[in-house]
Amino acid sequence: MSTLKRKAGSQAGSDAKKPKQNASITSFFSAPKPAAGSSSKTTTSASTSAPAGPKFDKEKWVKSLTDEQRKLLQLEIDTLHESWLAHLKDEITTKEFLELKKFLDRETAAGKKWFPPKEDVYSWSRHTPFNTVKVVIVGQDPYHNDNQAHGLAFSVRPPTPAPPSLKNMYICLKNDYPSFTPPPKKAGLLTPWADRGVLMLNTCLTVRAHEANSHSNRGWERFTQRVIDLVAAKRTRGVVFMAWGTPAGKRVQKVDAKRHLVLKAVHPSPLSAMKGYLTCGHFKMANEWLATRYGEDGVVDWALVEGQSVFGEKEEEVVQEEEAPVKKRGESVEGKIKKELKAVKADGVENVAPEVEGESED
């Protein structure tokens, strides 16, 4: 097994800032800046960027819309990153998508609160522009309680603690990279991953407050499937798709496994994580594959604490243990996993993430 050597750097990023009161929604949307001190190798390295396509004239496209389309699509015009809008402009003018936007308008008009906040629905597109995508993590429904969902699957804003599924993702990650340290204060903000090319995409992009799956089968599924298909078709150098749980697995069925790496496992929910997720090895497998496609600079540093890296000296020593059998590795972490799972259950968030509901099996 080859050794991936990386320098520790300032890798943690902060979430996109919120708009000032009464400010235009367009005034604060721009591509997120790399975290202070971070290496460009871990964000938008030229080695992982796709060749620039035909120039998209956004202003001309907006002028081509009808008044009704322009009104219904104002959120997309203002907040969907242009690199994605260029590819999705035809999809969002379909009858199906416009009906979805009318539904959301009716929800708002009826006084029904929905998440994530409107300005965060497409935050995934701004943190991970199309030409930077290296990994896709497929989620399901956004979190449906206050101060949770902000447009990135599995991620929550502080001070909300990491939900149980995300805690299990941390356990899995630490099994792959022993130097990984979960963020302080039980935090669950994953924007550093997004800024490094990890697209965390939910199947549905909105949900009514406190009502899981309340916006399902309204049109988001078609749109997000188009996003997945677009990445699979256009990111020709290859992307890693992580699909955890049966619903996520169905979303990547058509992905060309010869061009891309498709990793499937049970969902990280406490209901299924012990059935193979915690030792699936997906985080390390993704990097080993990315290194073959993009070189050493194309791997993802999964660290979430500023100034830390999962590619520390301790990790390099672990990687060099070439002959360690998988069974032995699993046995070495089994006791630790059981202990950490008990902690997850004992310290779990009262409102479990909606995407884990019904995930009693794979």
Is 141 a known active-site residue? yes
What does the H/E/C string look like for the chain? Answer: CCCCCCCCCCCCCCCCCCCCCCCCHHHHCCCCCCCCCCCHHHCCCCCCCCCCCCCCCHHHHHHHCCHHHHHHCHHHHHHCCHHHHHHHCCHHHCHHHHHHHHHHHHHHHCCCCEECCHHHCCHHHHHCCHHHCCEEEECCCCCCCCCCCCCCCCCCCCCCCCCHHHHHHHHHHHHHCCCCCCCHHHCCCCHHHHHCCEEEECCCCCEECCCCCCCCCCCHHHHHHHHHHHHHHHCCCCCEEEEECHHHHHHCCCCCCCCCEEEEECCCCCCCHHHCCCCCCHHHHHHHHHHHHHCHHHCCCCCCCCCCCCCCHHHHHHHCCCCCCHHHHHHHHHHHHHHHHHHHHHCCCCCCCHHHCCCCCC
Question: Among 15, 141, 176, 301, which one carries the catalytic annotation?
Answer: 141
Residue positions annotated with a catalytic role: 141
